[in-house]
Structure 1
Amino acid sequence: VVCQNVGTAVAVHEAVALGRPLVSRVTTVTGEAVAHPGNYEVLLGTPMGWLLERAGVDSERARRLVMGGPMMGFSIPEPACPVVKTTNCLLVPTEAELPTPPPAQACIRCGLCAEACPATLLPQQLYWFAQGKEYDKLEGHNLFDCIECGACSYVCPSHIPLVQYYRASKADILARRRESEKADHARERFEARQARMERLAAEREAKRAERKRAAEAKAKAKAEAAASEGAGGTDDAQAAATADPIQAAIERAKARKAALAAGTAGEPADRLATLSANVDTIAKRLAAAREKLDAYDGGEASVAEALKRGVEKTEEKLARAEAELREAREGASEEA
């Protein structure tokens, strides 16, 4: 069973049967300051001031504008506010009809509010908890069961606006819930991201270890194949060099050095050709270094200094190579 008021029932009928959205609202305009009280069907968004003018409101006699009834309604600060779907009544009372409540005084713990509450709550306790912002205790005392009828405020001899305290506390509790949900959602996202990053790191580490094992197995297989095919120490050294990249580089350097020594100790003609080629190579490197130095625009002093040092070192190498070539030529001419 669903209990609805007449306005909601009509809106449901128009939406379901006629396909018409909720674009208007029947609003009651009443009060002693209204010349033509009655029910008016107005479009949502219509300024309340326009509706009050049509109802003939006497602005001199009107003291307040209340949306809702005298018990559950609340004051509207500005008549330019629009009519919304919850604007079921606009009350424009005179001072005599609805006097301005006197200033609130201290609670005397009379218990009249508890007797008047239709939801059998403890308005007095809720008031103390609302003042102290003890939201957990407010929820423990079923604050959200309050229907905000205003009976407790009406019977209060101290004129305490109890319903206003309850409304403010409800809004604060709902805001705290939203913040808590947002924080929980952010924490869940952070934890999920951390778990994902750890999983990806573990997968990368596993792939890295697998590649390392595969490389070691491949190198071991090559070393064993080279050892089985080789016939002497040279083959064993080559196999070891293949198994170890650093050792391979060392072996290649030794081989180049041995080849250079063999060329130097060989025939004079071969030695002269080698030295001459070395001089040509160094000369080309010197020319390239000078071009870089000349082309540099001089933006940073450190770069220019490095280029100058490179040119000087290359010039020294070229001088040594030319001197060695001259000595070789002189030795060859003496032997001849």
Structure 2
Amino acid sequence: MAALNNIAKFLTPPMPNVSVDYDGFELRYKFLVFRPAYFKNEVYFLGAALLYVIFYFVGKKANERKAHKWFEAHEALYKLQFSKPTHTEGLSQDGNSDFFAFSTGRRALTSLHTTFTLRPRHDLFQTIFHFVRGLVELDYKVYDEVELEFTFREGAAPETVWAVVAKDELKKIRDERWDLTFTKTTDTTALPASLAVMSEFADVTTNLLKPYGAFSLPAVLSLPAIQPYFRSLSLTDQPRTRPSHALSPSERTRRLILTLALPPTSDSAATLPLVTAAFQLVDVIAGAGRLPGLAAALRPETKTKLRKMREEVERQIRDEGAREKREEAEEQKAAARKKAQDERLSKLSAAEQKKALDREKKRAMRKTQGKTKMR
């Protein structure tokens, strides 16, 4: 009982000094009296809580406004390109910094996923963390991003990996995208010096960067107004992360992925020419009207090399998977042997257990010495 009393005394806050000589401001209602002068530290706690709540709602609203403004500026283009530009009215929201739209109903495409990943403006602590990390890691950048992932219908695009990437984005994209390990990074005079090409073969680059009538991808990427917002444009038939098993051709969906930094809300339409060009590039790749399509334009030897490269990667993945299965089976056998040995030893007397353990130690030493001599 004494221990409980001591704990209760420790947890009970001290009584406030309510001297009858108090002459400050007070609020009184019947037997209830509130004297603000006695609450000094509480003011700071309440102020901090109020600041966090205000920061949350202001940041939440800013993210919503930024995403919706961009989509509103591009919505007319979406409606022109798709019979179903959105699956709901406007954007869908997942949390306070992720927004998305799903579009379908267009020639050569099964869908377009538009995904917004915005800075956590609603979270004061995350904002401080990103700011401090940016001061420590000079190459660490946090920006508002929108990604457009066009998924081609089967047979509408060739099996290849190709990309144009802003050079200050190269390190990040190499770390995040396994599919781009298929490529080699080069410069080209057709594009601004701030951009690099990642391609498996020069034939693919030549066909994608050459003009098609009034459309020219290098001309669009060279526009000064869109360069601050362009991050990457990639055509790929491989997953972003290395698969654990060899993928069949049906599992390797062909996609065109455009990644942009969101412009300010006052200039949300700045990226409209580039998004328009992405739809035109879809038609160039798939073939529309008199366009032959990228698959038909590639040289036969290029197609052969692309196929062989994928066969080699699939063989490596299968071999790694088989090796992992063998190692797992060996571990299971070793564990079963260890369990059987432990059960056998548990039935022996203490002296017999000691003899058995000594024999195991000697056997292990002989194996170690034999391996050392072989080396």
| TM-score of the aligned structures, taking structure 1 as reference length | 0.23
| TM-score of the aligned structures, taking structure 2 as reference length | 0.21
More helix by share: 1
Bigger relative contact order, structure 1 or 2 (CA pairs below 8 A, ≥6 apart): 2
